[in-house]
């Protein structure tokens, strides 16, 4: 019997379990073969707070991931049940609301009231980006996206 096997079976069952679990995680890559996406969304060069981001893998259409931008326009993607997005071509959809004149929509109750009254303009655009395995940092300028379904007040 090889030396490793003797040592392995000499371990307590709980330690064997942890060792096997660690080996499986390492062999599986822990998402290393998938892409993780972070980035920044801007509108006319300014941070686009509250932009909704949807990533759709074109290699595996069942993989759909979402994110939302914060005050400085940065976002991280929530992969849900996935550990990342498969490398390859990815469609990225962005929806962002502004005042009719293009200024950022206010937050809080004022923004909610304007949204409810239909007085905000919704910019819906898409981008196609290649996603690599590992970390991907992308910048999305809304005015450079392909228009999808624009609406406005």
Would you kindly state where each structural domain of the chain is located, as residue ranges?
1-31, 32-147
pLDDT single digits (tens) 139-153: 999 999 999 965 544
Q: Name the pairing type of β-strands 74-78 and 134-141.
A: unpaired
Please tell me the predicted confidence (pLDDT) of residue 139: 98
pLDDT single digits (tens) 37-65: 999 999 999 999 999 999 999 988 888 99
Helices 3-10 and 13-28, interaxial angle, to 10°? 120
pLDDT single digits (tens) 7-38: 445 555 654 554 444 444 433 333 458 999 99
pTM above 0.75, yes or no: no
Please tell me the predicted confidence (pLDDT) of residue 11: 52
pLDDT confidence of 105, banded at 50, 70, 90?
Answer: confident
Task: Give CATH superfamily name and number for 32-147.
Answer: Immunoglobulins (2.60.40.10)
CB 66 within 8 A of CB 54: yes
* DSSP of 61-120: TT-EEEEE--TTSEEEEE-TTSSSB-SEEEEEEEEEEE-TTSPBPP-HHHHHHHHHTT-S
Quote the CA–CA distance of 152 and 115 in Å, as a whole number: 11
| φ and ψ of 127, to 5 deg | -135, 155
Please tell me the predicted confidence (pLDDT) of residue 102: 85
| φ and ψ of 33, to 5 deg | -90, 0
């Amino acid at each position: 019997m090889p030396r490793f096997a003797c040592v392995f079976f000499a371990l307590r069952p709980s330690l064997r379990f942890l060792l096997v679990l660690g080996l499986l995680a390492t062999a599986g890559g822990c998402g290393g073969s998938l892409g993780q996406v972070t980035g920044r969304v801007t509108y006319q060069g300014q941070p686009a707070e509250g932009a909704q981001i949807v990533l759709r893998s074109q290699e595996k259409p069942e993989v759909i991931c979402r994110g939302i931008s914060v005050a400085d326009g940065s976002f991280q993607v929530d992969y849900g049940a996935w550990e990342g997005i498969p490398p390859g071509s990815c469609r990225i959809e962005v929806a962002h609301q502004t005042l009719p004149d293009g200024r950022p929509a206010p937050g809080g109750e004022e923004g909610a009231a304007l949204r409810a009254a239909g007085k905000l303009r919704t910019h819906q655009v898409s981008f196609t980006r290649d996603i690599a395995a590992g970390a991907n940092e992308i910048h999305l300028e809304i005015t450079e996206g392909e228009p999808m379904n624009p609406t406005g007040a």
